Amino acid sequence: MNITSRFRMKELYDYYENKMERCPFMQVVEGSSDGTVTVRGAEKIMIGSNNYLGLTNHPEVKEAAIKAVEKYGTGCTGSRLLNGNLDLHEQLETELADFLGKEAVIVYSTGFFSNSGTISTLIGPEDVMVCDRDNHASIVQGCLLTRAPMKRYQHNNMESLERQLAGIDENKEKFIITDGVFSMFGDICKLPEITNLARKYNAAVIVDDAHSIGVLGENGKGTEEHYGLQNEVDIVTGTFSKSFACVGGFAASSREVIRFLKATCPSFIFTASLPPSSVATVLASLKILKNDHARRKRLHTISNYVRNELNDMGFDTGGSQTPIIPIVIGDREKTIAAWEFLFDQGVFCNVSISPAVPKGCDLLRTSYIATHTDSQIDYVVETFRKMRNLLF
């Protein structure tokens, strides 16, 4: 059996087999600074990063990581349960819970675990999950692991959500699961309507705030704060790979829920704990996030400007409301040609094609950083304009 024939993306890699330097995936980054990366010796303006607040090169963040390595070494060489539970982990869980206004937090080694581990541990096979069709793969993976029925509602469609909820036995435990900000199209879940329906049908709500923390809300606390809600979400999950400039993830909820996860979740118990440098990075980023509101304002100023310009050019930006701004093209070859043009002009963005996005919605995924300069953003906009005139 030729196992490679089973790979869903095989045809794309076959297409680029002899010219991988032109492939939009797996480009080798040789260095980075605020708003730029170096690829094959050439500097590119990075508009494909989730480094929303621009903290990956912040001197205080880097210094915190270095000091943690000097004090603790490079890793914990064990799980939190056994020998890898540092005072830094405990400090991060306490500070993050306080910031989010939740009773407790569990820190995972990856953002993927935050969803897959939390969902698969808390939801049993007799329960029912109701999920947005555009939810992240880590949510879908967690749902599949539960062996519980999973019903999907049309993306951000509250009538579809209610139809699904109304069709469930009232004696079943029900969970509504959604992204806060959807990672491909940059739109925000309709949390007020979701929580109203949750109360009506006695369902718990889980929100993945991976792209929301640091971005949405007056203080960057995410989707709940964005809508002026407080403690309406039962469980908030998230990652440290976006606004927190690192890797890892978390779930925030009641003390009872977090205690249960720490005692039973395989993704927490049976994996090495987050390295000390990573925890220190997140703690330093959280401090900046809480105190430097100008970064978030700058991020939205840039994003709103670019979105308006793209819309004026006639691009389909997919209903974006956040620093994630797609350019929906639809045709795979045209999408890759557009990426190649931008890349050659010194602009690095991402390509998302089916099945990562719905069929016929192949797109360029762009996202913006608070540390982008005006001149960088002006260049990006003008390059989009040239691409529009030449390719469309």
- Active-site option among 116, 183, 320, 367: 183
Supply angle C-alpha 246, 320, 133, rounded to 5.
Answer: 80
CB atoms under 10 Å from CB of 71, counted, come to: 12
Residue 349 neighbours by CB under 8 Å, 6+ apart: 47, 48, 339, 342, 364, 365, 366
Please indicate whether residue 160 is annotated as part of the active site: no
Biggest CA-to-CA distance, the chain? 61
Please indicate whether residue 334 is annotated as part of the active site: no
- Active-site option among 44, 89, 226, 242: 242
Residue 214 neighbours by CB under 8 Å, 6+ apart: 52, 53, 220, 242, 243, 244, 289, 296
**For residue 47, how many C-alpha atoms fall within 13 Å in the half-sphere facing its CB?**
32
User: Is the distance from CB of 261 to CB of 105 less than 8 angstroms?
Assistant: no
Q: Which residue's entry shows tokens 């508009």?
A: 47
What are the residue ranges of helices labelled H in the chain? Answer: 10-15, 59-72, 87-100, 111-122, 137-146, 158-166, 191-200, 223-226, 255-264, 266-269, 276-291, 293-313, 332-344, 374-391
The full DSSP string for 295-335 is HHHHHHHHHHHHHHHHHHHT---TT--SSEEEEEEE-HHHH
What does the block give as tokens for 316?
């389909």
**Percent of residues in the chain assigned helix, strand, coil, to nearest 5:** 45, 20, 40
What is the C-alpha to C-alpha distance for residues 276 and 279, in angstroms, rounded to an integer? Answer: 5
What Rg value do the Cα atoms of the chain yield, rounded? 21
What does the block give as tokens for 277?
């440098």
Residue of 174, 175, 188, 249 lying closest to 216 (CA atoms) = 188
- Active-site option among 44, 102, 136, 211: 211
What is the C-alpha to C-alpha distance for residues 110 and 250, in angstroms, rounded to an integer? Answer: 8
CB atoms under 10 Å from CB of 151, counted, come to: 16
Please indicate whether residue 62 is annotated as part of the active site: no
Catalytic residues: 183, 211, 242
